[in-house]
């Protein structure tokens, strides 16, 4: 896969209890693009993300990662291409030590031990948590956990990074560090978040979701400055776009 285009066409999904979470969502993210997925609670953001690596399979519509159409059969391929950072790092970290947790993905991909080791070292280094290597993940602070969760995904060298609420529960310093990391990643990025200031700093494009539908797509500043649109979908215009000096 040379071009890591993510394309979703007319995606529908209803949960087993009948709740319609997605009602015909379509979008396309170009290779190397950085896109924010915004919208109120229950808009369908997380459900949409779960389709991108085959955690949920399409009922109606199509998800395409590069040249691969994601189905039950190709889910393993999609998972190799799409690295998913989940909302709660506690769900993502389950091995006894940080190093083992980061090694989990590469080992499952069948890499030889030396390569696993170098991937682990590189991923930890990349997010600045090499010193946490031998610590048990559940003893870390939220910021550290988040960084490790990102490292577990980077170690699999995915083409596309998908993140669900990466800045939630972070203190300002940890959040700032996260933003710097996100800015430095060359991957195609899709980030679901309520942190609109982060969106302004990291993402070039914004998709707005409401009640399972994609209600707006466009360049970040243009969409986020549209006060009427934002308010209509339970959002607001971020401060960073109101004042010359962000605070």
Q: Which residues bind another protein (CB under 8 A)?
A: 50, 53, 55, 76, 79-80, 84, 86, 88, 90-92, 94-97, 99-100, 103-105, 107-109, 113, 116-117, 134, 136, 138-139, 152-153, 156
Could you tell me where the beta strands, DSSP code E, fall in the chain? Answer: 6-14, 20-29, 34-38, 60-65, 68-69, 82-85, 160-164, 188-192, 205-210, 213-219
Query: CB-wise, 58 or 220, nearer to another protein?
Result: 58
Q: How near is the Cβ of 139 to another protein at its closest, in Å?
A: 8
Q: How near is the Cβ of 150 to another protein at its closest, in Å?
A: 13
Neighbours of 117 (CB within 10 A): 14
Query: CB-wise, 26 or 142, nearer to another protein?
Result: 142
Q: How near is the Cβ of 242 to another protein at its closest, in Å?
A: 36
Q: Which phi and psi (to 5°) does residue 128 adopt?
A: 70, 35
Helices 113-126 and 98-108 meet at what angle, rounded to 10?
130
Q: How near is the Cβ of 83 to another protein at its closest, in Å?
A: 8
Query: CB-wise, 60 or 139, nearer to another protein?
Result: 139
Query: CB-wise, 24 or 96, nearer to another protein?
Result: 96
d(CA 68, CA 55): 15
The answer to whether 39 and 25 have CB atoms below 8 angstroms apart is no
């Amino acid at each position: 896969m040379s071009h890591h285009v993510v394309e979703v066409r007319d995606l529908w999904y209803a949960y087993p209890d009948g709740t319609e979470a997605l009602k015909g969502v379509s979008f396309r993210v170009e290779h190397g693009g950085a896109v924010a997925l915004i919208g109120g609670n229950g808009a369908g953001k997380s459900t949409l993300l779960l389709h991108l690596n085959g955690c949920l399979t399409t009922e109606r519509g199509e998800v395409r990662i590069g040249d691969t159409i994601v189905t039950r059969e190709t889910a393993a391929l999609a998972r190799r291409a799409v690295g998913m950072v989940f909302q709660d790092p506690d769900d993502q970290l389950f091995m006894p030590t940080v190093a083992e947790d980061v090694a989990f993905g590469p080992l499952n991909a069948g890499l030889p031990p030396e390569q696993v080791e170098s991937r682990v070292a590189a991923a930890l280094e990349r997010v600045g948590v090499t010193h946490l290597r031998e610590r048990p993940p559940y003893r870390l602070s939220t910021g550290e956990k988040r960084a490790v969760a990102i490292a577990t995904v980077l170690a699999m060298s995915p083409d596309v990074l998908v993140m669900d609420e990466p800045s939630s529960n972070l203190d300002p310093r940890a959040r700032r560090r996260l933003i710097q990391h996100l800015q430095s990643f060359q991957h195609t990025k899709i980030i679901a978040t309520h942190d609109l200031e982060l969106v302004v700093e990291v993402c070039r494009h914004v998709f707005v979701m409401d009640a399972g539908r994609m209600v707006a797509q466009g360049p970040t500043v243009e969409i986020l400055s549209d006060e009427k649109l934002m308010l209509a979908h339970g959002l607001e215009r971020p401060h960073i776009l109101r004042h010359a000096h962000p605070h």
